[in-house]
Amino acid sequence: MKIAITGANSGIGKELTNSLDKFEIIPLTRDILDLSNIQDVIEFDMPDVDILINMAGTDIGGKIVFDNHDPNNVVSILNTNLLSPVLLTQKVLKQNSNCKIVNITSTNNKRYYPNNLTYSLTKKSLSDFNRMLQIEYPNIRTLEVRVGLTKTNFNKNRYKNDTERYQDIYQNKHLTAKYVAGQIIKILFDDNIKFIEISP
C-alpha cells in the first residue's frame, strides 16, 4: 500500500510518516513539492497512491486583522491549505478512483475566532470540499480529521517573519503531534468512518 503525506517535514505529518513505516510512504516534503507554489503543484508528477493525506498547513503572518495581513502571505495560506490539496486530490483520483482522501481540518470550523480569517477560511473550505467529493463520487473513500490545538512548529512558523508579534499559544491546553498521529492511525483504514474530531 502506498500512502502520500504532505507536511511530512515536521509535526503530525512527520509522526504519521514514522508510525506508518510498514507501508510504502511517499513523504511530500517541501524540498520535493512547494505547496505554496501552485504552478509547481500543477506540474508535479504525482505517483499512483492508495491513500492521500493532506496534512500540510500554514498560517504565515496570521493572527492579525484581515486587512493588515500581507497579501503574499494570504496567497501562500490559500495555496498551501486549500488549492494544493484540491489539485493533489484531482491528480490521485485521476490515477486511482479508489484512492482514499484524508483532509486535515480544524476545530476552529465549529466557531470562528477574530484575526484568523484566511486560515479559518481554508480549513472550513477543505471540510466542504470533503463533503462535495462524497456527492461527486458516491463511492469515494474519504476522511475528515478535525484537529484541535496541537504543539508543533506551526505557531513558530506563523510568526517567522514577524517575531515581535509572537504569542505562546501552547500555554493553553493542547495535544501532542504523536498523540494526534496515533488517533488518526487508529481509524485510517476503517472506511466506514468519515469524520473524527481530536480535541485537547
Size of the chain in residues: 200
Stated pTM of the model: 0.93
Q: Could you tell me which CATH number the domain at 2-198 has? A: 3.40.50.720
Average the pLDDT over 4-10 and give the result.
96
pLDDT band for position 112 (50/70/90)?
A: confident
Residues 26-42 have pLDDT tens digits of 999 999 999 999 999 99
Which pLDDT value is given to residue 117? 97
Share of residues in the chain with pLDDT > 90 (%):
82
Average the pLDDT over 68-80 and give the result.
97
Which pLDDT value is given to residue 124? 97
pLDDT, the chain, mean: 94
Please state at what angle helix 71-78 crosses helix 117-136, rounded to 10 degrees: 30
Residues 133-154 have pLDDT tens digits of 999 999 999 999 999 989 887 7
Which pLDDT value is given to residue 195? 97
**What nine digits make up the cell of 166?**
509572537
